[in-house]
Amino acid sequence: MPLVETGTPSPAPYVRVADDEALPDGAVIVSAERLLAESESLRVRNGDLGVLWPNDRDVAELEPFLPRLNLVALDFPKYRDGRAFSQARLLRERYGFKGQLRATGNVLRDQLLMMSRSGFDAYEIDKDADAAAFSEALKSYSVFYQPTGDGRPTIRGLRAALRGKEKA
């Protein structure tokens, strides 16, 4: 499954570790349960730490762990299940998470731009062809109506700038 990263690339590939497996050295992704149960030992462990957070669990619970987390992976169990779009915006815009926000699961080309707008900066993409078309997919729109935390200019802002120019 191809991984596309648009933010700071991971120093080394993350390894997903099952709950009953011992933690290897290096960058790991653990489950939400393990993060909560072993928070103390995980906090002091060397190596990058990520969590796979399910889409039916409140991301507010993650808040105290965010300073220690290098990565949060949010799940799209089916591409039609859009809960992680809201979770991503909350993590970025409300809780100020700065690490990698990775989309995982049934990630398809036609949702990539919306994921990016919601705050994702890494994508485990289902199909090779979709991954190859990544930059094209992100360019499918140049104008956006709603403000999110992604920094892209909104139509409202562009209109206001235009009015400013007219006045000047």
Partner 1 sequence: MYVYDEFDRSFLQERVVEFRDQVARRLSGELTEDEFKPLRLMNGVYLQLHAYMLRVCIPYGTLSAPQLRALAHVARRYDRNYGHFTTRQNIQFNWIKLEELPDAMADLAKAGLHGIQTSGNCIRNTTTDPWAGATPEELEDPRIYAEVIRQWSTNHPEFTYLPRKFKIAITGAQRDRAAVRVHDVGLRLHKRDGEIGFEVMVGGGLGRTPYIGKTIREFLPKEHLLSYLEAILRTYNLGGRRDNIYKARIKIQVHEMGAEEFSRRVEREWEETRDGALKLDDETMADIRSRFITPDFEKLPDNPLELTIEQDPAFLRWKANSIVPHKEPGHAILTISLKPVGAPPGDATADQMDAIADLAERYGYGEIRVSHEQNLILPHVRQKDLPTLWRALDALGVATPNVGLVTDIISCPGLDYCALANTRSIPVAQRISERFSDLERQKEIGLLHLNISGCINACGHHHVGHIGLLGVEKKDEEFFQITLGGKGNSKARLGSLIGPAVAESEVVDVVERLVDTYLALRTSPQESFIAAVERLGIDPFKESAYAPR
| Sheet order of strands, 122-124 included | 3-5, 122-124, 100-105, 71-76, 49-53, 28-31, 15-16
**To the nearest whole angstrom, how small is the minimum distance from the Cβ of residue 58 to partner 1?**
8
What x/- string results for residues 67 through 96 when contact with partner 1 is judged by CB under 8 A? ------------xxxxx-xxx-x----x--
Pairing, β 3-5 against β 122-124 = antiparallel
Q: Which is nearer to partner 1, 115 or 125 (CB)?
A: 115
Contact residue for partner 1 among 3, 23, 36, 114 (CB under 8 A): 114
Q: How many CB atoms are located within 10 Å of the residue 72 CB?
A: 28
Contact residue for partner 1 among 15, 23, 36, 113 (CB under 8 A): 113
Helix intervals (H) in 45-141: 83-89, 112-118, 128-132, 134-138
Q: Which is nearer to partner 1, 34 or 117 (CB)?
A: 117
Tokens of 10: 């991971």
Residues binding partner 1 (CB under 8 A):
58, 79-83, 85-87, 89, 94, 108, 110-111, 113-115, 117-118, 129, 140-148, 154-156, 158-160, 163
